[in-house]
Each structure stands twice: as C-alpha cells, then as structure tokens.
Structure 1
C-alpha cells in the first residue's frame, strides 16, 4: 500500500495518525500533536512512509496513552491565566478595538486587549509574538557576539514540531513564539541552541560543547521543554 505526505489514518484504540515527510529527519519518529489531538509519524521521504506506519502500529498503546493524557486547550479569552517568561498573566478585555498591552497591577501583570472572540485572541497572540521577537532577538545578538558571529535574520513562527531552526547557509533562525511563555532561562537556551548551529550544524558533542559555553548546563532547560512543551502548544489553540 502506498502512502502520501499529509495523509491521516485511523489508529487502533482511537485517534488519528498523520503522515509527515521531513527531508531533514534522520530517522523514523512518532510525536504527539497536543493541539490537533493526533499522533504524527515522521519519515525522511515519502517512500519510507510505509515503514513509519508499521512502526507507529507497534506503538499503538503508547500513542493511545499519550493522546489520552494530552493537555486541554487553553483559549486566549478574558479571565484566562497564561504565562509570559514564566510569570502568570491574566487576560482582560478592555473594550473597544485597541491592541493588547501589558499592565503591572498589585495582583501581578495583566494583559488587556480590545476585540471580542477571535479578534481578542488574535490581539493577544500578536502581543506574545512581539514579546517573543524582542526577547529572542536580543538574546540571539548576545550569543552571536559571544561566538564572534555576524548578524542573522530572525523570524517568529508557530511550528508544532520544533521550537526553533537554524539555516547556516542563509544565516536565518526561526523561533516558535510559544517559548516566550517559558521561564527566561529556557527561552534563552533556545536562542543559544540555534545560534550554536551556526558553528556546528549537527548535534555532535562538539555542538553541545558550544551550547554549554554559551549558557552552562543546558540539560535542565531541555528537560523543561520536554516536560512542559505540550502545555505551551495547547495555549491559544
């Protein structure tokens, strides 16, 4: 049987399996897309999708457990409490159509925005995207200077499979805006992680030595993203 990129298959025990081709992938893998509520089977080429489907079927029990345990979506709506650089932030409607703005109150930071429904949510997400660009651009510059590297183009995106990516050949780095909800040290780790790829494009010991040179022990930050990443992807979904 032939399979195609983007195809969805039913899974034993419930749920769906989405097939994805990523030419940069070095191996077959399965991940959970918490926002979509489905498993994603990744292969480096379309001709290997059959292999990753077979692999996914051997992991049916694990996939069912992970889907059942996925974090519920937290919408951007008035009254919701989200995080910004690890700090709880309450969302409030201000009336009108103004852009979201952060206000420090005696009870902590509040993010107030105009708009209703999707318009409110869009303004809140735009604020987080701007906050991510400001923080990650600044930390990228710090790490570039530490390594004696020249400038890069920074883009803010909303990827579900990767927190960031670096293209050394055209000196561009892409970051998921969602990492701005993590503690500052975790977001800074992501910047160091991607900048280090300008020196080593792989994940060799030499590469990790560069990351350690920039931020010290990176393992707690990697662990934090692994343990809490699904919750960040569930926000605003």
Structure 2
C-alpha cells in the first residue's frame, strides 16, 4: 500500500485512529499522541519511511490505546472554572455584560474577570490568553535573538494541535501555541529558546541542543514538564 503525508488511517490499521506525518528533521521513526484530535501520529523522516512507521505502530497498539485512554477530560472556559495561567491556578469569573476578559490579582489569588455568556465568555478568555502569550513570547524571543546575535523574526500565535512551536529559518518566522502561557514562565522561556535555536541549527543535533543549553541551561526539566502536562493544557477550552 502507498502511504502519503497527512493520510489518516482507520482504527483497524494499527489499533487506534492514526495520522501519518513526514518530518525531515526526524532522525528515526516515532509515535506521538495527539490528545486533542484523539489519534496517534506516526512520524517518519521521509514519505518512503511511512510504511515502516505503520509497521512499527502495529507493535505499539497496546501502548497507543493506553495513552489515548489516559487523555484528560476537557476543561471548558466557563465561569467558576479554575485554569492554569503562568503555572498558577486562576479562577474564571463572569461579570455579565460584554466586557473583555481581564486578569486581576485579588487578595485570594489571581482571577480572570470577563463578560459574555457561553461561547462568548470562552472566546473572551481565550483572547486574553492569546494576548498574554504574544506579550511574553515576543519578549523572550527578542531576548534570545539578542543573545545569539540574530536578526529579528516574525512571531505569530496560533492554536496548534500538538506542537508547541515551529520555526521556519528560511523566512525567519516563528509560530507559538498560545497554550504555553498556562505553563510556568520558565517553560515558556524554554520554548522561545527552543525555536530561536533553530535559526542556528535546523535539526535536533547535539550542536542544536548546545545552543538551547547556552540560552536556558539544563533544558530537560522543561521538556519533561511539557510531556507530562501538555495533554491537560490542550484539554483547556475543549
């Protein structure tokens, strides 16, 4: 069978719903779980390697089913909910009316106050998260660019399905997931360093990781934090 990049496989092909992905930066076959989409992503360095990725995934069917079953429940952005922001639990409070969402430091801790009802309330809170993410990530990106003596880049904020960020060195653009603003500030700083370092090395070679280490020190705790807590962040607002 001929497989192609982006192709979706039915559950009976590898044991779970799956999507094929070609990543030229990948150094080996791998599987990651896209909790938001409810599927496994089978990654190969080239389209020719996708058949091997499918065969490899068939040997990991039990593991993939277990990981998908462990996905956290959705966490809607609604009044009364508590969601993370900068790594701290933050309450969502409705004010009625149509006011924009605002972050307030109250005597009992931070909370977000917003107008709107239903989807309108959720959208206002998410817009606030996007604004905060852009502010923080732009500042950290510029700092890491200065450290490496790199020229400015164009930064955009998106809601990606699984990746926390991406860098396109050829057109000097970096895209971040707004959801990283829910993580502790040091994790967001690591993400900015991770993407800026790709302007120096496009791969994940030892030379690349040495650049990341120059920017943030030991990066392993931050990577582990995202692996352990990422699914919960992707469940927010679902």
Task: Give the alignment of 1:31-110 within 5 angstroms.
Answer: 31-110=32-111
Q: Check conservation: 1:181, 1:232, Cα contact below 8 A.
A: yes
Judged with a 3 Å threshold, the aligned counterparts in structure 2 of structure 1 residues 209 and 19 are, in CA distance, closer, same or farther, namely: closer
Structure 2 unaligned blocks of 5 or more: none
TM-score w.r.t. length of structure 1: 0.92
Q: How many residues align?
A: 237
Q: Which residue of 1 aligns with 2:142?
A: 141
Separation in structure 1 between the aligned mates of residue 192 and residue 142 of structure 2, nearest angstrom: 9
Please state whether the residue corresponding to 1:137 is helix, strand or coil: helix
Separation in structure 1 between the aligned mates of residue 160 and residue 218 of structure 2, nearest angstrom: 26
Please state whether the residue corresponding to 2:97 is helix, strand or coil: coil
The Cα of 1:54 is off from its aligned counterpart by: 2.1
CA RMSD of aligned residues (A): 2.0
Q: Which residue of 1 aligns with 2:116?
A: 115
Q: Check conservation: 1:186, 1:221, Cα contact below 8 A.
A: yes
Please state whether the residue corresponding to 1:75 is helix, strand or coil: coil
Residues 139-188 of structure 1 show CA distances to partners (whole Å, capped at 9, x for unaligned) of 11111111111111001111123211111111111111111110000100
Residues 60-106 of structure 1 show CA distances to partners (whole Å, capped at 9, x for unaligned) of 11011111111111111111111111111101111112211111111
- Runs of 4+ more than 4 Å apart: 11-15, 21-26, 44-48
The Cα of 1:27 is off from its aligned counterpart by: 3.6
Separation in structure 2 between the aligned mates of residue 14 and residue 169 of structure 1, nearest angstrom: 38
Q: Which residue of 2 aligns with 1:224?
A: 225
Separation in structure 1 between the aligned mates of residue 194 and residue 201 of structure 2, nearest angstrom: 10
Structure 1 unaligned blocks of 5 or more: none
Q: Which residue of 2 aligns with 1:17?
A: 18
Please state whether the residue corresponding to 2:126 is helix, strand or coil: helix
The Cα of 1:205 is off from its aligned counterpart by: 1.8
Q: Which residue of 2 aligns with 1:152?
A: 153
